[in-house]
Amino acid sequence: MMVEETLMWSTQWLSRFAVALGGFLIFVGIILIGVFVLIFLGLDVSILESEKYRMLSLWALLAIGLLDLVSGIILRRR
């Protein structure tokens, strides 16, 4: 009985870890695709580092992170 509980707990932990890792990889993938599109269109990527656009890019990253969190919660509940 104890072995079954330990196995069940480790399976649940592994499932949660896989969902969290998958969400993180999706988040990083979205950022990389965005940078690729900027470079492909011929825009300077360093524009995101300028003082003028820094807050905009940080808000965009925050919004993407929150959407990623929500999607992770939805995936976890399924």
Is the pLDDT at 4 greater than 80? The verdict is no
Comparison of pLDDT for 59 and 3, the residue scoring more = 59
Q: Which residue has the tokens 């509980």?
A: 5
**Mean pLDDT within 5-33:** 77
| C-alpha–C-alpha distance, residues 55 and 50, integer Å | 9
How many domains are contained in the chain? 1
- Stated pTM of the model: 0.51
Question: Domain limits at 39?
Answer: 2-77
pLDDT tens digits, 24-69? 788 788 888 888 888 888 877 777 677 777 788 778 878 877 877 7
Q: What is the 3-state secondary structure (H, E, C) of the chain?
A: CHHHHHHHHHHHHHHHHHHHHHHHHHHHHHHHHHHHHHHHCCCCHHHHHCHHHHHHHHHHHHHHHHHHHHHHHHHHHC
* Model pLDDT, residue 7: 64
